[in-house]
Homo-oligomer: A and B are copies of this chain.
Amino acid sequence: MNVIVMKFGGTSVASTEKLKNIADIVCKEAIKNKVIVVLSAIAGETNKLQSFLDDFETQYSAESDLVLTSGEQVTIGLLSAALKIKGIKSIPLLGWQIPIITDDNHEKAKILYIDQKRIIKYFQTNDVIVLAGFQGISLDGKITSLGRGGSDTTAVAIASSVQAERCDIYTDVDGVYTTDPNIDQNAKKISKMSYEEMLEMASTGAKVLHTRSVELAMKNNLTLQVLSSLTGKTGTFIVDDKQLIEKEIVSGVSYSKNEAKVTISGILDKPGISAKIFSLMTENNINVDMIVQNISQDGVSANITFTISRKDYELTKSVLEDSNKILEYKALSLDKNVAKISVIGMGMMSQSGVAEKMFKTLAKHEINILAISTSEIKISVLINENHTNIAVKSLHDVYNL
């Protein structure tokens, strides 16, 4: 039994016309394979429900999950009806009806187990299962939600559990690009890339897929395809790197303007000082990204630079200002006006000179590098936000993308 999983997000189901369009797309696939369609709620609906919850100023997350998961019930019912009108044998199912068992960590539950026997049974009498994304059920019988990007996670998890041939993630773009086409019109659609590259892309600003679902696909060696529900063209395949015969040295350039830079200067260079700083951040739920530490010129004190989400700017400032007694630093400076630029590619591992080329290119355009961080397949630099476009364009150009 060949199964294809097709996931459509909130903007793809936002009107009757769009749902009928999805029914057409699903029909074409259902002629060839058994299909599991995973749907989100209608775009905007979840925000509306969230604003109801905000009116109650509630932190009761079991109740929140119950309210927030009602939207998918509408879209799966409508799509299943649209499919039946086209003569397709279809059944709409909620998370608990499979069931998709999760832990009881409401609003960000993790999937523990999916009963694939039930899915096989449903396929005995149906060609298409229309499944509500984003939701599951805890072991004590309460409805849970998977948090942000939850429908992608549902799609990848169900595809993994039935060993689907492929999981197609339909969006409003037709694939993953070498960089943001809004910044550089020479950006090209990538036809095939590795999970690792996609993960680096996602974590450095490309918002096509949530890292959680890519990690899950990688773990289960499941082929993903990102494609458009409007054009119907082949999209970008995300696969195991063994399937990439000729690895691109650099496959993409991404950027993120969601950054702020923190520099703490003149701290005592002794063991445990970094730990102190970053426990403070953890205690306050502040996510830290790039971290750079250097001995300062006097040879006894150190400087630490790191980046945070821009939304945590004020909180970080006040936490660090209040902690001078513990940290005993000389100076503190924060900067909101920064951007992170990353070049990503599997081929980087076996190829030298990628970093050098990046730094040279930025220097040529008189762009100052504020911090550098690297992984095996990624180099990220922090620069002044005003230089984002020119940096992205020149790097996209110099690596022949």
Contacts of A73 in B (CB 8 A): 66-67, 69-70, 73
Expressed in whole angstroms, the Cα–Cα distance for A226 and B66 within the complex equals 29
> In the complex, how many angstroms separate the beta carbon of A104 from the nearest chain B beta carbon?
14
Known contacts A16-B52, A141-B97; is A66 also within 8 Å of B77 by CB?
yes
* A60 and B84 form a contact (CB under 8 A): yes
**A81 contact from B64, B69, B141, Cβ within 8 A:** B64
- Whether, in the assembled complex, A55 has its beta carbon less than 8 Å from a beta carbon of chain B, the answer is yes
Most B C-beta atoms less than 10 A away, residue of A52, A66, A69, A76:
A66
- Whether, in the assembled complex, A9 has its beta carbon less than 8 Å from a beta carbon of chain B, the answer is no
Nearest to A118 among chain B residues (CB) is B141
Chain A contact surface mostly: helix
Expressed in whole angstroms, the Cα–Cα distance for A94 and B62 within the complex equals 13
- Whether, in the assembled complex, A375 has its beta carbon less than 8 Å from a beta carbon of chain B, the answer is no
* A60 and B74 form a contact (CB under 8 A): no
- Whether, in the assembled complex, A175 has its beta carbon less than 8 Å from a beta carbon of chain B, the answer is no
Nearest to A92 among chain B residues (CB) is B66
Contacts of A69 in B (CB 8 A): 73
* B56 and A82 form a contact (CB under 8 A): yes
Expressed in whole angstroms, the Cα–Cα distance for A395 and B174 within the complex equals 73
> In the complex, how many angstroms separate the beta carbon of A146 from the nearest chain B beta carbon?
17
Contacts of A53 in B (CB 8 A): 77-78, 81
> In the complex, how many angstroms separate the beta carbon of A38 from the nearest chain B beta carbon?
16
Expressed in whole angstroms, the Cα–Cα distance for A339 and B74 within the complex equals 40
> In the complex, how many angstroms separate the beta carbon of A258 from the nearest chain B beta carbon?
31
Expressed in whole angstroms, the Cα–Cα distance for A80 and B77 within the complex equals 26
- Whether, in the assembled complex, A334 has its beta carbon less than 8 Å from a beta carbon of chain B, the answer is no
Q: Give A131-144 as 1s and 0s: 1 = Cβ < 8 Å from B's Cβ atoms.
A: 00000000001010
A-B contact pairs, 10 of them (CB 8 A): A16-B55, A19-B56, A56-B81, A56-B85, A58-B82, A58-B84, A64-B81, A69-B73, A70-B70, A70-B71
Q: Top 5 nearest A-B pairs by Cβ distance?
A: A67-B77, A66-B77, A58-B81, A70-B73, A16-B55
